[in-house]
């Protein structure tokens, strides 16, 4: 009886949600992504500093989750080591700003991207010699190896982490040290990530990614080099994850070993599943849900992870498409 009631409620929400989305698309000159971004920017201007800090964290983790969703949700490749990109981006940013001093923001992001490409190609070339759960285990092993190196390498602070001396400069006449200005930059990055990924997924290359998820053997029989496409999506996901890590290090002004640990990889997977894998928007909503649960329950009980696990269980049973599946099947 309960599953039938949930299914009926979900069907009604889908119909209403689809109608609202269709109406909005016809009247909004900015499009839904642009309007959501504008709404977030306006919201950031009127909320309290604590809530602005919280929202900035959600936006950055939303970028990370989108990058993970491209690999897991759209290509069907499960990675347990994606924290190596997020944490790696944070450490490269910290070391770059610490050793080179004042570096433009674009310069920092370029250095992070190059480092992430190198790591993605090496890790991917090793891991893609395996498939399925074995691939996930290999990525976990590579990620943990990098984590262990980081906590033992005193040059980057060892287990104490590496402080970021300050945020980079920009070519624009803005003060990036202002919390609201930095928040706006992260929102722009979030919207740009969504638009780029949406364009990529609608392209022939993106269709191959999704074909690999549905039937890898058939894609191979058609004549596509599956290894090359997997390595490509792994690299794209790794680079964007590293850029999110760079923004996070600039946000908290610190690169922590915890950003490299397997727990971070597990958390991004949970966020993606709760929000809705294979939807892009869903993982960002999952990040918001995860952070809000942490903020609301951690002061009350140290067992707040238990409630996240319960939420994940309920989503898997009643909402296979995640939170975003309540209002759309796209």
pLDDT in tens, 199-210: 999 999 999 999
Residue 2 is assigned to a structural domain of this protein: no
Residue 8 is assigned to a structural domain of this protein: no
Quick one: pLDDT at residue 68?
98
* Both structure tokens of 220: 């191979």
**Residues contacting residue 52 through CB under 8 Å, at least 6 positions apart:** 44, 179, 180, 183
155-160-166-169 Cα dihedral, nearest 10 degrees: 60
Q: What is the mean pLDDT of residues 94-121?
A: 94
Residue 194 is assigned to a structural domain of this protein: yes
Q: What is the mean pLDDT of residues 32-48?
A: 92
Residue 4 is assigned to a structural domain of this protein: no
The C-alpha angle with vertex 66 and arms to 111 and 262, in degrees rounded to 5, equals 75
Coil, strand or helix: which one is 254? strand
Rounded Cα–Cα distance for residues 97 and 310 (Å): 41
Residue 239 is assigned to a structural domain of this protein: yes
User: Which residue has tokens 């010699």?
Assistant: 129
Rounded Cα–Cα distance for residues 73 and 66 (Å): 9
Instruction: Find, among 141, 148, 184, the residue nearest to 55 by Cα.
Output: 184
Q: Are strands 254-255 and 162-163 parallel, antiparallel or unpaired?
A: antiparallel
| pLDDT above 70 coverage of the chain, percent | 90
pLDDT in tens, 65-84: 999 999 999 999 999 999 99
Neighbours of 9 (CB within 10 A): 12
pLDDT in tens, 233-274: 999 999 999 999 999 999 999 999 999 999 999 999 999 999
104, 169 Cβ separation under 8 angstroms: yes
pLDDT in tens, 118-153: 999 999 999 999 988 999 999 999 999 999 999 999
> How many domains would you assign to the chain?
1
User: Which residue has tokens 């009350």?
Assistant: 300
- Domain containing 191: what range? 33-326
169: β partners: 104
Burial classification of residue 284, based on how many CB atoms lie within 10 Å of its CB (0-12 exposed, 13-18 middle, 19 or more buried) = buried
Q: How far is CA 38 from CA 5, 14, 17, 31, in A?
A: 36, 25, 21, 11
pLDDT in tens, 150-188: 999 999 999 999 999 999 988 888 889 999 999 999 999
Single pTM value for the model:
0.90
Residues composing the chain? 330
Burial classification of residue 27, based on how many CB atoms lie within 10 Å of its CB (0-12 exposed, 13-18 middle, 19 or more buried) = exposed
- CATH number for the domain harbouring residue 298: 1.10.3470
Q: What is the mean pLDDT of residues 99-125?
A: 94
Quick one: pLDDT at residue 26?
43
Instruction: Find, among 234, 256, 232, the residue nearest to 245 by Cα.
Output: 256
Residue 170 is assigned to a structural domain of this protein: yes
Residue 166 is assigned to a structural domain of this protein: yes
User: Which residue has tokens 């001396």?
Assistant: 165
Handedness of CA 187, 189, 194, 195 (dihedral sign): positive
Rounded Cα–Cα distance for residues 126 and 120 (Å): 10
DSSP letter for each residue of 2-24? HHHHHHHHHHHHHHHHHHHHHHH
CA 167 to chain centre: 21
| Cα first-last separation, the chain | 27
Rounded Cα–Cα distance for residues 214 and 206 (Å): 13
Quick one: pLDDT at residue 31?
77
Instruction: Find, among 75, 55, 61, 70, the residue nearest to 268 by Cα.
Output: 61
Rounded Cα–Cα distance for residues 148 and 288 (Å): 29
Residue 20 is assigned to a structural domain of this protein: no
């Amino acid at each position: 009886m309960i599953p039938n009631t949930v299914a009926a409620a979900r069907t009604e929400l889908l119909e209403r949600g689809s109608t609202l989305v269709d109406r909005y698309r016809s009247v909004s000159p900015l499009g839904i992504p642009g309007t959501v971004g504008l709404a977030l920017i306006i919201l950031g201007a009127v909320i309290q500093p604590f809530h602005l800090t919280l929202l900035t964290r959600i936006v950055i983790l939303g970028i990370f989750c989108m990058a993970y969703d491209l690999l897991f949700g759209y290509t069907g490749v499960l990675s347990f080591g994606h924290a190596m990109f997020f944490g790696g981006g944070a450490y490269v940013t910290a070391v770059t700003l610490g050793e080179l001093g004042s570096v433009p923001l674009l310069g920092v992001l370029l250095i992070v991207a190059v480092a992430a490409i190198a790591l993605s190609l090496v890790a991917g070339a090793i891991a893609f010699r395996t498939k399925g759960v074995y691939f996930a285990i290999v990525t976990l092993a590579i990620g943990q190896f990098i984590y262990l190196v980081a906590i033992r390498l005193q040059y980057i602070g060892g287990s104490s982490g590496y402080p970021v001396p300050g945020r980079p400069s920009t070519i624009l006449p803005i003060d990036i040290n202002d919390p609201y200005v930095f928040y706006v930059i992260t929102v722009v990055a979030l919207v740009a990530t969504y638009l780029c990924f949406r364009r990529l997924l609608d392209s022939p290359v993106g269709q191959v990614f999704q074909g690999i998820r549905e039937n890898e053997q058939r894609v191979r029989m058609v004549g596509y080099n599956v290894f090359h496409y997997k390595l490509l999506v792994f690299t794209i996901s790794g680079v964007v994850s590293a850029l999110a890590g760079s923004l996070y290090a600039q946000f908290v002004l610190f690169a922590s070993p915890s950003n490299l640990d397997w727990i971070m990889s597990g958390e991004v997977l949970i966020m993606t599943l709760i929000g809705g894998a294979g939807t892009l928007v869903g993982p960002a909503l999952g990040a918001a849900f995860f952070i809000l649960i942490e903020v609301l329950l951690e002061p009350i009980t140290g067992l707040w992870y238990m409630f996240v696990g319960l939420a994940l269980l309920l989503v898997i049973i009643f909402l296979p498409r995640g939170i975003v599946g309540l209002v759309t099947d796209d």
